[in-house]
Amino acid sequence: MNKLSSLMHRWSTQAALAMATLAMSGAALAQQAEGEIKSIDLEAGKVVIKHDKIPEVDMPAMRAGMSFRVKDPAWLKNLQPGDKVKFSVERIDSYYTVTAIEKK
């Protein structure tokens, strides 16, 4: 193999490994949890949810509640403080984000 071929092969292998790692890490981040809505901020697209420990995303129990961004703020229109919910949380751009939510 000449130097150019060797470099191209090494680069394509590294790129393929990087893409596979990103795909796997994204799939592993979405985690199902249960909690209670404490407050809703429709304008900011955020919700505060009281929940138990979510070990898969290394998050302790938040008895006073944790503020999350919501992937689709329209979901918040059907919720109110006190609602018990099931939700999925994922770390997106360094922020914990609710990627799915439904009343229990």
Domains of the chain listed by start with CATH number:
30-103 (2.40.50.320)
All residues at 6 or more sequence positions from 44 whose CB lies less than 8 Å from its CB, including other chains: none
pLDDT in tens, 63-81: 999 999 999 999 999 999 9
100 φψ region: left (φ > 0), alpha (ψ -120 to 50), beta (else): beta
pTM reported for the whole predicted model: 0.71
Q: How confident is the model at residue 56 (pLDDT cuts 50, 70, 90)?
A: confident
